[in-house]
Structure 1
Amino acid sequence: MARLSILATAALLLQSTRAQSSSSACSATLSASYAAPSVASGYQAKLVANKLTKPRSIIFDSEGHLLVVESGKGITSLTLRDDGNGCVGLSGTQAIINDKSLNHGIEMSTNGKTLYASNSGSVYSWDFDAQAQKNTSTPRELVVGMVNTDHTTRTLMLSRKVNGRLLVSRGSTSNIDSLAQDITSGHSQIRAFDIGALGSDRAAYQFDDEGTLLGWGLRNSVGLAEHPITGGIFSVENSVDEMERQGKDIHESNPGEEMNFHGYLNGTRYAGQGQNYGYPTCYAAWNVSDIPENQSLKPGVQFAIGNLNGTASDSACQNDHVAPVLAFPSHWAPLDLKFNAEGTTAWVTSHGSWNKDRPDGYLVYAIAFSPSTGMPTEPADSMKAVIPIMRNPDNSKCPTGCFRPVGLAFDRMGRLFMSSDSTGEIYMITKTDGKSVASATPTAGAPASTSSPAAASGFAVSTAGLGLVGVVMAIMSWLF
């Protein structure tokens, strides 16, 4: 009887969707080759561009063009056409930088006249003309000496609170990188550089031993953001794969991915700034019940990898290293982090797992923040800080048959744009009326898990953002 009732509801939803599509359909709607995304109630997600080459980080320039790092190709400018009624499409593209080494990082000066980008080894800047959609200078090296294998992206973030401070995140050279234990190696660190002090006679900064160290022992902190009210610096970290503890394989549900706090650039004192965050020895717990000898552990509390001894112990991890402010499910691979202007919400992309028997992640989610304290509203041991907004309806199709979120950017209207590198696409996330999500604070979700379509994750079907096929697949996935 319950299924019959749900099927009846599905029929009504399909009827409603048909009615909506006849009155408010976009004239040139793109469709994906996979099941349409599921979105939280009150939101919609629309595909606005496709056929890109591994689009990673994205940013809007001063003229409203969306600049996209196409990994292995360069930087491309997208001119978006707004047809009203929440309908946005692509009207043109323009190559800005042709450089196959560029793979992820991008930033823009506050006046819109300088463009920054990175490859595995260096950070570059160009003079930039947003109206003409072109660079007007040769590249200049700002930060060098970062080449390593494995984690080769170098995320860039320019402070809006302290002029001229450019943050650069560098990951590890392997899953468990022993060199990261040496602070002089420069591996697994976040540093800030005063690029305003680079005169024509000043050589580029050396990453390993210059700049302000904001933290080390950070395996691969790809997402970086500055809280718009307090100026606090946060990152989201991709934690270790294939984890074992006391000879037991616990990688399926541990360790947790991390959100870390790194203090301020304006001189405000934070004891943890520049300190060690644990990698490669210590990690945040997620599913505590799977961890051998888990006394006193809670989600988000750090514990030691491998066989416990005097130098690798839980107590040393908890007493000698900086703990995360939040933990997320294992292997979700968070890649970008953006705050809304009010500082009430942090938006995060989750690229999704490869190191799990059942694919998990592959979503865009939100984290509620207090604008006054600049900290998450959920405690550090919370398992329900994640507020899912957009995800794949069936993670078993991932990673090849689904979108994989990477970059985030708000436009002037507060609409949120997201890149999917695996599918070469750009999505736009808005409220169901097509309006801004930048000032909206989503409702708190359920315990974070999207490993199966039926998982309790705070989702509802938004028929305004889904096509007929998406509605049917979402409902049938919950039924069966």
Structure 2
Amino acid sequence: MGKMSITIASTLATASLFFGLAATQSSSGYASCSSTLSASHAAPSVAEGYVARLVANNLTSPRGIKFDGQGALLVVEKNSGITALTFNDAGQDCLTVATRRTVINDTTLNHGIEISSNGTTLYASSPEAVYSWDYSPMSQTNISAPQTLVANMTTSDHTTRTLLLSQHAPGLLVVTRGSTSNLDAEAEDLATGHSQVKAFNLTNQTAPYNFNTDGLLLGWGLRNDVGVDEEPISGGIYTVENSVDDAMRQGQDIHQNNPGEELNFLGYLNGTSSPNQGRNFGYPECFAAWNVSAIPDFSGTVGSQFAIGALNSTVNDTTCDDANRQAPRLTFQAHMAPLDILFNTEGTAAWVTFHGSWDRTDPVGYKVSVVEFANGEPVQASDSMTAAVDIVTNQDNSVCPGGCFRPVGLAWDNQGRLFFSSDATGEIYMVLRADGNATSTVGSNATGTVPSATSTSGMSGTSSSASATSSSAANTGSMSALAVIFGVLVFLL
């Protein structure tokens, strides 16, 4: 071997060592934390440009979550009560639980939670009632006995009562109530209060409201609208609905991909007129199409409503047209079970948790997605099948529901970081932008913050794993090392 060959070989070996070292060093970037927490199952996959970190565990079926004014995360632990978590931040958004306190010890509480704008009144719900307590954010304690605000809501099957305090109409509390069975015939009767969303005025209340007879009706025929939020710019009320299981039509089983889950628009609380407010949204007669080709004798499009069962002169799709029933604003894949919707403050995005399917051969859902908004409504048309873009997913849905996280509640902290609960695993995750910007700034693809609906996931992110930024840094380091190699070779040759 000649001297030049030996020199080149030596240079290549040195550069190769440098190349590997550079790649190793740059892979431990923004998302690297020293937390000892590890996910109950496989760590989440995240879309390019995002990071998901596990920040709390060992909770009892955490459902609704909400930050108080002092930065404590209030968590409804189903059939246990409400717990307050405070966090230590070690920098670079590396959070660990600092304290854990019981705020409310009540085994009937199961999902809904809200807090007043001044932070001193806490609201929560059981299957039967909505309650309030005086609350101290300084000590994370309730300082009063519970007061019953809304009652007479007990049903079987769908027992969550989600709560929302309006920002556009202060004093109004929105309460959602689902059906008492898969196909609840009583929901056809407005007087039963089943499958309805109502608003109640707390400013002049003198006694508990009766859900069946009191309140402002925002919508009915809503099978199980668990998630509800107010679009921050226009004040529009949007809900996400869990649709029917085991659907049949004309003797054919169509339940694998129909009917779709729904995003519904219920009008406004601030006095703005809307034909949607108070309308019948279809259930238990009418449902939104997802896989149109699988529905026999149907000529509609995605999102248009159809009747199930054996069609006849009184049960048919005419009953379900726009003149008789209000169709959803968007439709999602059947059985994904949306449980929460949360807008950012700019109204450019709505985040949705999909708890995941049980009534489908191939599991779907088990993820957190984002829907882009503009001018008070979704950017995409009502027949879109790509409006919900996946951000945090399970690596392998085939192991679900038993072997994966199942998202439920959503909350923003005061830094614009997104948190979600997973009831099946007793965990809380935080979702970050890998570029360091707040997650709450997501929206408008002009800024590139919403990934393409066809982009692939696969970036793992927990408190101890690398983010898309560190991956990008590794690529940059690799390219730099290659540049060194080629530069040296050019010089020698």
Give the residue type in structure 2 aligned to 1:404. Answer: R
The CA deviation at 1:469 is: 11
Q: Equivalent residue of 1:196, what SS? A: coil
Which of 461-470 and 380-389 deviates more? 461-470
> Take 1:380 and 1:14, find their aligned partners in 2: how far apart are those partners?
51
Correspondence for 2:88 among 64, 81, 92: 81
Confirm or deny: 8 A CA contact 2:133 2:145 kept in the other structure: yes
- Per-residue deviation, 1:419: 0.1
Partner of 1:278: 282
Q: Which moved more, 1:264-273 or 1:280-289?
A: 264-273
Structure 1 residue 18, shift from structure 2 partner = 7.0
The CA deviation at 1:433 is: 4.0
Higher relative contact order (CA 8 A, sep 6+): 2
How big is the shift at 1:466? 8.3
Q: How many angstroms does 1:465 deviate by?
A: 5.4
> Which one of 107, 111, 120 corresponds to residue 114 of structure 2?
107
Alpha-carbon shift at residue 458 of structure 1 (Å): 2.8
**Cα–Cα, structure 1 residues 27 and 381, in superposed 2: closer, same or farther, change >3 Å?**
same
> What do residues 365-406 of structure 1 show as CA deviations (whole Å, max 9, x unaligned)?
000101x2x010100000110111000011001001000000
Partner in structure 1 of residue 150 of structure 2: 143
Contact 2:173–2:200 under 8 Å retained in 1: yes
Give the secondary-structure state (helix, strand or coil) at the position aligned to 1:180.
helix
Matched residues in 2 for 1:215 and 1:13: separation? Answer: 60
Partner of 1:385: 387
Aligned partners of 2:111 and 2:452: how far apart in 1?
30
Match of 1:3 in 2: none
Equivalent residue for 2:429? Answer: 427
Identity %: 53
**Contact kept? 1:239, 1:257, Cα under 8 Å:** yes
Structure 1 residue 304, shift from structure 2 partner: 0.4
Map of 1:128 onto structure 2: 135
Partner of 2:402: 400
Aligned with 2:442: secondary structure? coil
Shift, 1:459, TM fit: 2.8
The question of whether the paired residues in 2 share the 8 Å contact of 1:36 and 1:467 is answered with no
Which residue of the partner structure matches residue 312 of structure 1?
Answer: 315
How do 1:74-473 and structure 2 match up within 5 A?
74-198=81-205, 202-295=206-299, 297-318=300-321, 319-370=323-374, 372=375, 374-441=376-443, 442-443=449-450, 445-446=452-453, 457-462=454-459
How far is the alpha carbon of 1:214 from its aligned partner? 0.2
Q: Tell me how far apart the structure 2 counterparts of residues 166 and 304 of structure 1 sit (CA, whole Å).
A: 33
**Aligned equivalents of 2:325 and 2:458: distance in 1?**
42
Distance 1:432 1:470 in 2: 6
Q: TM-score, normalised by structure 2?
A: 0.87
Q: Which amino acid aligns with 1:402?
A: C
CA contact (8 A) 1:69 1:103 kept: yes
For residues 386 and 51 of structure 1, what CA distance do their matches in structure 2 show? Answer: 30
Give the Cα separation in 1 of the matches to 2:20 and 2:298: 47
Is the Cα–Cα contact under 8 Å of residues 136 and 143 in structure 2 kept in the other structure? yes
CA offset digits 1:280-301 (Å, max 9, x no partner): 0100000011110122x11101
State the alpha-carbon separation in 2 of the partners of residues 235 and 252 from structure 1.
23
Q: What is the CA distance between 1:310 and its match in structure 2?
A: 2.0
Kindly provide the amino acid, as one letter, of the partner of residue 223 in structure 1.
Answer: G
CA contact (8 A) 1:86 1:435 kept: no
Work out the CA distance in 2 between the residues paired with 1:40 and 1:17. 22
1 CA distance for matches of 2:73 and 2:30?
Answer: 29
- Over residues 402-422 of structure 1, what are the superposed CA-to-partner deviations in whole Å (9 max), with x where a residue is unaligned? 000000000010000000000
Count, aligned residues: 444
CA apart distance, 1:90: 0.6
Q: Separation in 2 of the partners of 1:23 and 1:135? A: 38
Query: Following the alignment from structure 1 to structure 2, what is the Cα–Cα distance between the partners of residues 208 and 339?
Result: 29
Distance, in Å, in 2 between the alignment partners of 1:99 and 1:168 is 20
Report how far residue 196 of structure 1 moved: 1.0
1:130-167: CA deviation from partner (whole Å, max 9, x where unpaired): 00110110000000000000000100000011110000
- Secondary structure, aligned partner of 1:262: strand
> Which shows bigger deviation, 381-390 or 431-440?
431-440
Q: Note the C-alpha offset of 1:356.
A: 0.3
Paired residue for 2:27? 20
Q: Tell me if 1:43 matches 2:47.
A: no
CA distance 1:143–1:14, shift in 2 (3 Å): farther
**Contact 2:50-2:467 at 8 Å conserved across structures:** no
Structure 1 vs Structure 2 CA RMSD: 2.0
How far did residue 434 of structure 1 move? 4.4
Instruction: Assess if the C-alpha contact under 8 Å between 1:364 and 1:388 holds in 2.
Output: yes
Shift of 1:21: 3.2
Provide structure 1 residue ranges, at least 5 long, that are not aligned to the other structure: 1-11, 447-456, 472-480
Q: 1:13 to 1:355 in 2, by over 3 A?
A: farther
Tell me the SS of whatever aligns to 2:280: coil
Structure 1: how far apart are the matches of 2:179 and 2:460? 42
Give the 3 Å change call, closer, same or farther, for CA 464–20 of structure 1 in structure 2: farther
| 1-structure distance, mates of 2:173, 2:327 | 24
The counterpart of 1:55, out of the listed 57, 62, 67, is 62
Looking at structure 1, the residues matched to 408 and 275 of structure 2 have their Cα atoms a distance apart, in angstroms, of 31
Runs of 4+ in structure 1 off by over 6 angstroms are: 12-15, 466-471
Q: CA deviation at 1:253?
A: 0.4
Q: How far 1:20 moved relative to its partner?
A: 2.7
Mark the CA change 1:23 to 1:247 in structure 2 (over 3 Å): closer, same or farther.
closer
Distance 1:38 1:14, change over 3 A: farther
Distance in 1 (CA, whole Å) between partners of 2:439 and 2:116 is 24
8 Å CA contact retained: 2:55, 2:463: no
- Based on CA coordinates, which of the two structures has the bigger radius of gyration? 2
CA distance in 2, matches of 1:382, 1:37: 26
